[in-house]
Amino acid sequence: MSRPDVTIIGTGSLGSALAKALFDNNYTITSLFNRRLRKAESVAREVGATYFSEFPESSKELGSLIFLTVQDSEIEHSVDNLSRISHDFSGTMVVHCSGSKEASVLTPLKRRGAGIAAFHPLQTFTSGSGTQEFRNIYFDVEADDITYNRLRNLAEHLGGQTIRITSSAKPYLHAAAVVSSNYLVALLDISGKIAALGGIDKQEAMAAMLPLVRTTLQNLESKSAAKALTGPIKRGDIETVRLHLELLKSDVDLLDTYKSLGLETLQLSEESRSLGGGKKAEMYRLLKDDK
């Protein structure tokens, strides 16, 4: 299957990284567009794009695969503006990369003959991101069969793989991604705050936790969550958990967070059947106390 010529509208962190990754994998980047023209021009020079400006104005500027990598709030506006261009969209794929928006926001272009899809990389991107960030990741894809198969091929070219989802499942997966990525950062910050209560430098404590986090994530790549779980709750170490709760009484928010996560951990430990009934009940009472 031949590789389509690509247009990317929105050259922020994701759009820029996608342009570079596709270019590195032998895709022709026809055009790049961005409200900040200098950013579009900069990336265009890197990937040899023929056209760059703030927004496409004519059919000749559009490739047969159009990515919308603008902010979620700008997708409908971009679709409306694209719809105003005199262009035969039959044979064209128009794809947005939002984690929360359904593919149906592209329906005006579907009526013009385009294949539409939501193609969301489960990855974080910064200003320096490029080809490497797309390797060994998942893309959640909402699309019809033909468009899905084409995007699956593209994902494989980038070194990733796809998970096909429905429009109703999409927001649940996005919420899960937020917990896995954004809340993980918040959780590490909380661990630093807990260490700081004991007079330990917060940043130093967080740095010390990173190897532990990496090993835990590596364990999750080969084991179920229940089997990857370690620590005092899984062991039924009542005295250690009681000590932690006592130490955190000076900060109610941290105490409540520890208890809430402890209850989730206790529930997970039940899957591995590591606790006897008596210890499980005692641990539950300890974590549930005053909640």
Look at residue 142 and tell me if it is in a domain: yes
Look at residue 216 and tell me if it is in a domain: no
Residues 177, 242 share a domain: no
Domain of 91 in residue numbering reads as 6-167
Whole-number Å distance between alpha carbons of 77 and 62? 17
Residues 193, 56 share a domain: no
pLDDT of residue 271: 84
pTM above 0.75, yes or no: yes
Q: What Cα–Cα distance (Å) separates residue 81 from each residue in 87, 100, 114, 220, 223?
A: 12, 21, 15, 44, 48
Look at residue 268 and tell me if it is in a domain: yes
Look at residue 217 and tell me if it is in a domain: no
Residues 163, 173 share a domain: no
Q: Which of 157, 156, 159, 161 is nearest to 27 (CA)?
A: 157
Contact 27, 1 (CB under 8 A): no
Whole-number Å distance between alpha carbons of 96 and 134? 16
Residues 182, 62 share a domain: no
Residues 281, 233 share a domain: yes
Look at residues 167, 182, 200 and tell me which one is the last residue of a structural domain. Answer: 167
Look at residue 57 and tell me if it is in a domain: yes
pLDDT in tens, the chain (291 residues): 689 999 999 999 999 999 999 999 999 999 999 999 999 999 999 999 999 999 999 999 999 999 999 999 999 999 999 999 999 999 999 999 999 999 999 999 999 999 999 999 999 998 888 899 999 999 999 999 999 999 999 999 999 999 999 999 999 999 999 999 999 999 999 999 999 999 999 999 999 999 999 999 999 999 999 999 999 999 999 999 999 999 999 999 999 999 999 999 999 998 877 676 788 899 999 999 755
Q: Is 92 left (phi over 0), alpha (psi -120 to 50) or beta?
A: beta
Look at residue 111 and tell me if it is in a domain: yes
The tens digit of pLDDT for each residue in 197-229 reads: 999 999 999 999 999 999 999 999 999 999 999
Contact 25, 54 (CB under 8 A): no
Look at residue 126 and tell me if it is in a domain: yes
Number of domains in the chain: 3
Residues 285, 145 share a domain: no
One-letter amino acid of 183: Y
Residue 138 sits in a domain of what CATH number? 3.40.50.720
Residues 108, 146 share a domain: yes
Provide the sign of the torsion angle of the four alpha carbons 168, 91, 39, 37, taken in this order: negative
Q: How many residues does the chain have?
A: 291
Residues 259, 183 share a domain: no
Residues 242, 187 share a domain: no
The tens digit of pLDDT for each residue in 88-111 reads: 999 999 999 999 999 999 999 999
Q: Kindly give, in sequence order, each residue whose CB lies less than 8 Å from that of residue 255, ignoring residues fewer than 6 positions away.
A: 245, 248, 249
Residues 140, 54 share a domain: yes
Residues 161, 19 share a domain: yes
Q: Which of 40, 37, 35 is nearest to 16 (CA)?
A: 40
Residues 151, 14 share a domain: yes
Look at residue 1 and tell me if it is in a domain: no
